[in-house]
Amino acid sequence: MRRPLAISALGLVVMLWAGALVAAPVSGASHLSAAVYAAGSVVCHQRADRSFQLGNAQLPVCARCTGLYAGAIAGVFGWAVIAGVRARPTQRAERLTGWPRLRGALVVIATPTLITVVTASAGIWDPANAARALLAVPLGAVITGVVVAVAAGDLR
């Protein structure tokens, strides 16, 4: 029973957080909105020029973080599809959780995001917000997939 509960709970948390990120700018000056912006400030620089706008309001996190959280949704649901939500993971999931393969995948998937961070810091290439977000989606998906696999007991 641990696996289905872990996968469902993480799916719920990720969906609630993603929903809160979209709801905060449109809900106006509420306590919930203020809490979401405050939580976002803990993990994100929240620079206006690097953030998406919804209506006339800035999202609580930057474009790259938005991409990471969008990827997180894909990661939770992707792991649920790959490994299933029954008491035992599928054989396909057991093959994917081999540590050397997983470590290599993390390096490959992190590379586009790392390149945008390094090139922007060096003043070589500063991609637009849409590129920052899109290049962060795979990283968010894989990292969240790993977190779900660990929480479900599929990866030790």
- pLDDT over 70 at 105, yes or no: yes
Q: Nearest 5°: CA angle at 60, between 31 and 136?
A: 150
| pLDDT recorded at residue 120 | 92
Find, among 32, 144, 12, 5, the residue nearest to 79 by Cα.
144
| Mean pLDDT for the chain overall | 91
Question: How many residues are there in the chain?
Answer: 156
Instruction: Give the residue-averaged pLDDT of 8-22.
Output: 96
Residue 112 token pair: 């586009």
Q: Is 125 exposed, middle or buried (0-12, 13-18, 19+ CB in 10 A)?
A: exposed
| pLDDT recorded at residue 95 | 75
pLDDT tens, position by position, 66-102: 999 999 999 999 999 989 888 888 887 877 776 677 7
Q: Please state the pTM of the whole predicted model.
A: 0.90
Domain borders along the chain are: 2-151
* SS3 at position 29: coil
H helical segments located in 27-125 = 31-43, 63-83, 91-96, 99-121
Residue 95 token pair: 């093959």
| pLDDT recorded at residue 99 | 67
Containing 54, the helix (H) or strand (E) segment is strand 53-54
User: pLDDT band at residue 125, thresholds of 50, 70 and 90?
Assistant: very high
* SS3 at position 53: strand
Alpha-carbon gap, residue 110 to 92, rounded angstroms = 23
